């Protein structure tokens, strides 16, 4: 029986782990920027992005 040139499970696990790490790095970079930080906004404009209805108080 011929052996496979690579281990499929190990390769799949490596791809999944790499994707998770890249996603965490991208989310960390985006959330550390003041423009896109929606968890802890530093400016008041980021909180009030929805305009109220006309005549609402």
Query: What is the predicted pLDDT for the residue at 13?
Result: 97
pLDDT digits (tens, 9 = 90+) for 3-21: 778 899 999 999 999 999 9
Query: What is the predicted pLDDT for the residue at 23?
Result: 97
Q: What's the rounded Cα separation, in Å, for the pair 14 and 10?
A: 6
Query: What is the predicted pLDDT for the residue at 1?
Result: 64
User: Would the pLDDT of 25 be above 70?
Assistant: yes
Half-sphere exposure of 46 (CA within 13 A, CB side): 11
Query: What is the predicted pLDDT for the residue at 50?
Result: 64
Per-domain boundaries in the chain:
8-35
Q: What's the rounded Cα separation, in Å, for the pair 37 and 27?
A: 10
Q: What's the rounded Cα separation, in Å, for the pair 17 and 36?
A: 25
């Amino acid at each position: 029986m011929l052996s496979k040139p690579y281990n499929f499970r190990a390769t799949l696990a490596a791809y999944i782990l790499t994707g998770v790490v890249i996603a965490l790095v991208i989310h960390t970079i985006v959330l550390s920027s003041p423009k896109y930080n929606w968890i802890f906004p530093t400016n008041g404009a980021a909180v009030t992005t929805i305009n109220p209805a006309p005549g609402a108080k």
